[in-house]
Amino acid sequence: MVRKITIWSVLLPYLRDYNRTLLLVDFEKELKIKHQTISKYIKELINNKILKKEKRDKHSSYSLNFKNPLIPNYLSISEKMRNFVLLDKSMLLKRLYEQLSNFFSENSFLIFGSFAEQLKGNDIDLLIIGKISKELKKTINDFSLTYGIKVHIVGTEIRELTKTFIQEISKKHIILNNSDLFINLFIKWKD
């Protein structure tokens, strides 16, 4: 998934579970990059107090440091970087993104469930926060008809989101816009 290693890409394994504690071998396995390369970025994240290091026997483990107020910003940049990769990887996702982009100023969009994990399937689960206009419904319906994929809409307001639902969507998601909103929700309900 990662083409070129950056400080932001080192945080990618945390995007589906903010409570994760990882070993160097976990980063290597998930990012498909040698641990010697990853180590310098991890060290930088520790120095910036983004990651916490904990010594366990012979190995060190790493977790996100939520005491640092910059954590949401780091995660937001990682989410956006991940989106560039995913949009480049899936023409269907890119097309949906383009169609929904006309509504980004009024609504916040997040894809969750199996499509978010595999970028394929028979349907797309789409969370929409904000008012769903007739024009937005028509755009989504036209997309479904054109590409032969069902889009299940979960439309709501922030105050109506439950902790259980937020925890569930945080595991498999693609944030299409307004990443700060979703990341702050994920952080708030991470435990």
Position 80, amino acid: K
pTM over 0.85, yes/no: yes
The Cα 175–Cα 173 span in angstroms is 6
Nearest CA among 88, 94, 45 for reference residue 68: 45
Start-end of CATH 1.10.10.10 domains in the chain: 1-89
Nearest one of 11, 65, 56 to 38, comparing CA atoms: 11
pLDDT at 79: 96
Band the pLDDT of 58: cuts 50, 70, 90: confident
**Top-tier CATH class for 1-89:** mainly alpha
Domain with CATH 3.30.460.10 in the chain: 91-188
Structure tokens given for 58: 């012979």
The residues, ordered by sequence, that sit 6+ positions from 146 with a Cβ below 8 Å of its Cβ are none
> Each residue of 119-166: pLDDT tens digit?
998 899 999 999 999 999 999 999 999 999 999 999 999 999 999 999
Computed over every residue of the chain, the mean pLDDT equals: 94
pLDDT digits (tens, 9 = 90+) for 28-39: 999 998 888 899
Could you give the CA distance from residue 68 to residue 64 in angstroms, rounded to a whole number? 9
Instruction: Name the CATH topology of 91-188.
Output: Beta Polymerase; domain 2 (3.30.460)
